[in-house]
Structure formats: structure tokens, C-alpha cells
Structure 1
Amino acid sequence: MSAFLRTASRAAAVRTTARAFSSTTPRPLARISIIGRLGGPPELKATSTGNEIMRYAVATNSGPTDNRQTNWFNITAFENEGPRRDFFMSLPKGALVYVEGEATQSSYTDAEGNQKKALNIVQRHLEVLRRPEAESGEQ
């Protein structure tokens, strides 16, 4: 085999194993995108370090109208104090939102001793798609 062919085959082998788009070490990451309605207004919770986190639930529906299923997603956000957090805190139940976040799964034992699993989502991006119409406008 010529020197040129050996060099070309080595270069091809390196290209298939290397990540051309990044120089950082690869790490597992689970991203999730959700479009759904707020189950209630977001709430602020204090952490043990004295910081505040924003928590809220988003509901999505799937399936045909006569057999619709609702899925609930609990979301945690680390929003700093300011107008952006104030805006999110003012969102009413039923607002249509688009959420992007990182997902992790945890296991726990409930009060009855049953093993449960939870999907935890940390918000990275939140966009309000539509606020619910005022009750006076509904008929």
C-alpha cells in the first residue's frame, strides 16, 4: 500500500471518531422542549442557601378528543430578581408557553412506601406564546 493511501485511511479513521463541531469533552445531556399551558401561576421557593428558585407546572394534552390524556411537567427555573422574573411571576394559569430545558430522572419512595420516578426539568428558555383571554371576553 502506498504512503498516500495509508495516510488517507488514517485521516478517514480519525474523522469518524473525532467531534468536528466542538473541542470540549462530550458529556451526556438530555434536552426537552415542551409547548403547553401553565397549571397555575409560578411560585418562588427559597433554597437552603438563601437564593430563590421559580417553580411551575406545564400541562400538555395528547390523543383524540374523546380519549385525551394530560401529561404534567414540573419545571424549576433559576431566574434572577428583576423585570424578567416579575413578568414570568405574573403569568396566569392557562398561559400557553414554550419551555426548553435539561431533563434528569430521579427515584424516590412516597409516603406509602412505593418506589416512584420523577422527571426533573431545569428551564433554560421560556417563551410566552399566548396569555389566556379575560373571563369577560369568554362566552
Structure 2
Amino acid sequence: MAGETVITVVGNLTADPELRYTQNGLPVANFTIASTPRNFDRAANEWKDGEALFLRASVWREFAEHVAGSLTKGMRVIAQGRLRQRSYQDREGNQRTAIELEVDEIGPSLRYATAQVTRAASTGGGFQGGGQGGGQARPAQQVSEEPWSTPGSSTSADAWSTPGSFGDDTPF
């Protein structure tokens, strides 16, 4: 959407994502990403940590179940999403404002780790989108195909798997 504030945050999860379900059965996962800048202090000849940013984040629907089943406390992640501001009244009656990240994409950072991706079974119905809109959640299922293959395809039909099988031209 035009005018939305989209940001990318790299940091570590402070706890396992907390998966909950709304009264309508819609899954939502909430978690916090801690992002700490590091700068080299030439005078002291050492790296120094800056002030940490703790950003609350949320994901919805099947995405929430995927995040809760894949990411754990301490993992370094890269998250992209839209900043949302909401106002509320605390228990003492004070007006508060919270800024949260509504995550569109998230994954583990591979700078200091490795990961193996397993494609979840498609639930159909087209785009599921983020946010709190409609749609019915379905449990995620794992498939035993190659991580990047199209369901039902075989790797032998993959243009990149067999050199020379499609000539010198790219297959698209």
C-alpha cells in the first residue's frame, strides 16, 4: 500500500515465537526481534555494542504456524514488514502508544548458520496475505519433494538440473 512504512530488520529472537489462536480460530504468532548495532571504536581498537532496539512483531494465519514451527529463541533472522502504531490504555489508565512490525517476510539469517528449507503443502485459495482479514486457517503439512520444486514436478524436467538438456538457451 502507498504511504506505509516498510522496513527490514536484522536481529535475534528474544524468545520462541508465541503461537495463539483468536476466538475465530485464526492463528497469530507474536515475537520480539532484538537488533543491536555494532561499531568499531578506532581509539579503543575494539567492537562496541550500541543501544539495542527491541521490536515486537506479529504474523498471521498459516504464516504464523510456519514461523512458530521453524524459528526459535536466539536465532538471527531477517524480517521485512510494515510498521503499525496502535494506542491503548494501560491498567493504570495511562494512554500508551506501541509501534509493532506486521511481518510480510521472515527467515533465518545465513551469515553465521545454515538452514534447510522444506516447502509446506499448498492450501489453495490463492493469496492468503497478512493482517487480520478473513480466510480460514488450515494446518501446515510437510511435503517430501525438493525444497524449490513445483508440487508434482520431477527434478528431471527441471531446466537447471541437467546441463545441456534444453540447449544453450534459457528455458523461459
Q: Shared topology, TM-score over 0.5? A: yes
Choose the corresponding residue for 1:104, options 74, 84, 107.
84
- Relative to 1, partners in 2 of residues 1:79 and 1:50: Cα closer, same or farther, differing over 3 Å? closer
- In the alignment, residue 106 of structure 2 is paired with which amino acid? L
5 Å matches for 1:52-131? 52-62=27-37, 68-80=50-62, 85=66, 88-130=68-110
Unaligned runs of 5+ in 2: 40-46, 114-172
More helix by share: 1
Unaligned runs of 5+ in 1: 1-25, 134-139
Task: After TM superposition, give the deviation of residue 112 of structure 1 in Å.
Answer: 2.4
Task: After TM superposition, give the deviation of residue 28 of structure 1 in Å.
Answer: 2.2
TM-score normalised by structure 2 residue count: 0.52
Q: Which whole-Å CA distance do the structure 1 matches of 2:102 and 2:70 have between them?
A: 20
TM-score normalised by structure 1 residue count: 0.63
- Relative to 1, partners in 2 of residues 1:105 and 1:31: Cα closer, same or farther, differing over 3 Å? same
RMSD of the TM alignment (CA)?
A: 2.9
Task: After TM superposition, give the deviation of residue 63 of structure 1 in Å.
Answer: 6.3
Task: After TM superposition, give the deviation of residue 27 of structure 1 in Å.
Answer: 3.6
Say which one has the larger Rg.
Answer: 1
More strand by share: 1
- Relative to 1, partners in 2 of residues 1:131 and 1:88: Cα closer, same or farther, differing over 3 Å? farther
Q: Which whole-Å CA distance do the structure 1 matches of 2:7 and 2:18 have between them?
A: 21
Task: After TM superposition, give the deviation of residue 66 of structure 1 in Å.
Answer: 5.8
Structure possessing the higher relative contact order (Cα contacts under 8 Å, 6 or more residues apart):
1
